[in-house]
Structure 1
Amino acid sequence: MRDEHTATLLDYYASHQASMQWRGFLTALAQEFETQLDTAHLRELMARIGVRFADAHPAGACATLDELAAFFNTTWSSLDWGFVNLVEHDEYLAIEHFCAPLAAFGKTAATWTPAFLEGAYRRWLSELGAAGLALRQVEASQHRAFEFRLSKTA
């Protein structure tokens, strides 16, 4: 029951997180983008926007995973963009991003809007010395999260 309750709370938060003044605009913007570009190009566009975002919010020095998680969480929390868990696995580092307000773009945009996060994470990780590693979005192992994996191979 606890997982169901948590899921309900996260659904509520995600649907109410984006300001009402932006929801209609962002949905219309997403619909227009979708008439002009295919999903691959939309993901490229959002990733480039994520890179610009990361450039405006440099990571600075993060020597440990705890420091990296603290940087991510401080950055996203200050903007009301959710929170991050970093999970080490033998073959990769998982970045689990919860409660990003991307739902404000509408349901059909869910295939391409997370590329914003991927672009930001890719830039930050490259800035910190992980340029030779691959970062990619995967189906989240945690319900209601966006998951990205940093590994030696894509």
Structure 2
Amino acid sequence: MRDEHTATLLDYYTRHHASTQWRAFLTALAEEFETQLETAQLRELMARIGVRFADAHPAGACATLDDLTSFFNNTWSSLDWGFVNLVEQDDYLAIEHFGAPLGAFGEAAGTWAPAFLEGAYRHWLQGLGAGALALQHVESGDRHALEFRLVRTA
């Protein structure tokens, strides 16, 4: 029963997270983007926007994963963009981002809108010395979370 209530609350939060004044505009913008650009082009555009965002919000010194988690959460929280968990696995570092208001672009944008976060995370991590590693968005199966993995490159 608790999981059902949690999912219902998260669905409500996701639908109402973006300001009402922006939802219809962002949905129309996304629909126009989709008529003009292929998904790969939209992902590239959103990643570049993410890099610009990261440039405007530099990471500073992050010596530990706790420092990095704090930086991410302080940055996103100050903008009402959710929160992050970093989870160390044997062969990758998972960045789990909860509560991003990307749903304001509409459901169809789910294939390209997360590239904004991917671009921002990639830029921050490269700036912190993770240049030999690759960051990729993966389907987590959780409609309320976006997952990115920092992995070794071949």
For normalisation by structure 2, the TM-score amounts to 0.97
The Cα offsets for residues 48-74 of structure 1, whole Å up to 9 and x where unpaired, read as 000000000000000000010000000
Equivalent in the alignment of 1:129: 129
Provide the alpha-carbon RMSD of the alignment. Answer: 1.1
Offset at residue 131 of structure 1 (A): 1.0
Equivalent in the alignment of 1:62: 62
The Cα offsets for residues 10-62 of structure 1, whole Å up to 9 and x where unpaired, read as 11111100000000110010011001001010000000000000000000000
Q: Flag the 1:65–1:142 CA change in 2: closer, same or farther, 3 A.
A: farther
**Counterpart residue identity of residue 89, structure 1:** Q
The Cα offsets for residues 64-120 of structure 1, whole Å up to 9 and x where unpaired, read as 000100000000000000000000000000000001000100111111000000000
Equivalent in the alignment of 1:101: 101
Offset at residue 153 of structure 1 (A): 2.9
Work out whether residues 141 and 147 of structure 1, in 8 Å CA contact, stay in contact via their aligned partners in 2: no
Unpaired runs of 5+ residues, structure 2, are none
Identity of aligned residues (%): 77
In the TM superposition, what are the counterparts of 1:20-99 in structure 2 within 5 Å? 20-99=20-99
**What's the secondary structure of 1:130's corresponding residue?**
coil
Equivalent in the alignment of 1:114: 114
Instruction: Tell me, in whole angstroms, the C-alpha distance in 1 between the residues paired with 2:54 and 2:132.
Output: 18
Work out whether residues 132 and 153 of structure 2, in 8 Å CA contact, stay in contact via their aligned partners in 1: no
Give the number of aligned pairs.
154
Instruction: Tell me, in whole angstroms, the C-alpha distance in 2 between the residues paired with 1:80 and 1:139.
Output: 23
**Counterpart residue identity of residue 8, structure 1:** T
Unpaired runs of 5+ residues, structure 1, are none
**What's the secondary structure of 2:129's corresponding residue?**
helix
Instruction: Tell me, in whole angstroms, the C-alpha distance in 1 between the residues paired with 2:7 and 2:131.
Output: 35
Offset at residue 141 of structure 1 (A): 5.3
Q: Flag the 1:109–1:142 CA change in 2: closer, same or farther, 3 A.
A: closer
Equivalent in the alignment of 1:148: 148
